[in-house]
Amino acid sequence: MTDKKKITLIYAGVAVISVLILGLSFFLMSLRRVKKEQAPPATDVGKEFVDEMMVLESDFELERQDGTKVKVSDLSGKVWLAAQFYASCPECAKRNQSSLIQIYNEFKDEPEFVVTCFSVDPENDTQELLSGVREGMNLERDNWWFLRAERQKLWDFMTEKMYFTTIIERRDPIEAAQKGRWAHDMGYQLYRGDTLVHKWDEGHPLDQLRDEIKEALREMREAGEEKVTTNEP
């Protein structure tokens, strides 16, 4: 057998093997789709009632947009909504001017309610810049806080203690220009004091979040009334 025939047979064999592999791959993919379509819907998943909630077990100091040093524990008597944010993020601006401002306007007159925006880009989000962002939103009350701290410590606190998702730097310059440098959690976390009572993800119905805030405010007031009654002589 000549070298030319040997090479031809080798290429032919490789081609046959490639076709078999592709055919097997398509068959497995179609089988997986069939199984997925035939799979019954999940039922009886999770608990009907939540009997354990995440509690912030450590404190953290931050700087507010007015330069005031505050701690997370300063919110112990509040129902507070936490969001990640940075001033140059176009998605944050869109969210803050839509769903977050709607929620704030609905509950801003409640003395126990506070909105908190934690900067994921504190090197650039200076105290002066955050103050300017707040003024640009024409917020009349002082119960919307823009907060900053040393970046890595704040990132660690938000991901390890508050359970926000990991913050990632966008490397694609086009994507970064369109969406901002930092990809971060766009959802909200609702706390009653030091207890996380609800995690709202962007795209979910806002009514769901409204109901949770109302319930948290009711429970906070009842706890306050019970404390006053207990302390009465």
pLDDT in tens, 167-196: 999 999 999 999 999 999 999 999 999 999
Pair 87, 192 in one domain: yes
Pair 85, 123 in one domain: yes
Q: Report the range of poorest mean pLDDT among 15-19, 97-101, 190-194, 211-215.
A: 15-19
Whether residue 51 lies inside any domain: the answer is no
Pair 72, 37 in one domain: no
The pLDDT-based confidence of 41 (bands split at 50, 70, 90) is: very low
Q: What percent of the chain has pLDDT over 70?
A: 74
Measured CA distances, 83 to 80, 188, 221 (Å): 10, 5, 24
Pair 38, 66 in one domain: no
**What pLDDT, on the 0 to 100 scale, is given for residue 216?**
96
Pair 79, 3 in one domain: no
CA distance 16 to 22: 10
Say how many domains are in the chain. 2
Pair 215, 127 in one domain: yes
Pair 124, 209 in one domain: yes
pTM exceeding 0.85: no
Nearest-5° Cα angle at 66, 65 to 71? 70
CA distance 124 to 223: 40
Pair 31, 131 in one domain: no
**What pLDDT, on the 0 to 100 scale, is given for residue 231?**
57
Whether residue 156 lies inside any domain: the answer is yes
Whether residue 150 contacts residue 122, with contact meaning beta carbons closer than 8 Å, is answered with yes
Whether residue 50 lies inside any domain: the answer is no
Pair 39, 65 in one domain: no
3-state secondary structure of 41: coil
CATH number at residue 114: 3.40.30.10
Pair 151, 198 in one domain: yes
CA distance 101 to 107: 10
Whether residue 55 lies inside any domain: the answer is no
Nearest to 107 by CA among 147, 141, 130: 141
Whether residue 195 lies inside any domain: the answer is yes
Pair 32, 84 in one domain: no
DSSP 42-103: P-S-S-SS-----B--S--EEEETTS-EEEGGGGTTSEEEEEEE-TT-HHHHHHIIIIIHHH
The domain of 221 spans 61-231
Pair 112, 167 in one domain: yes
Whether residue 13 lies inside any domain: the answer is yes
Measured CA distances, 49 to 45, 52, 87, 213, 219 (Å): 12, 9, 38, 18, 16
Whether residue 125 lies inside any domain: the answer is yes
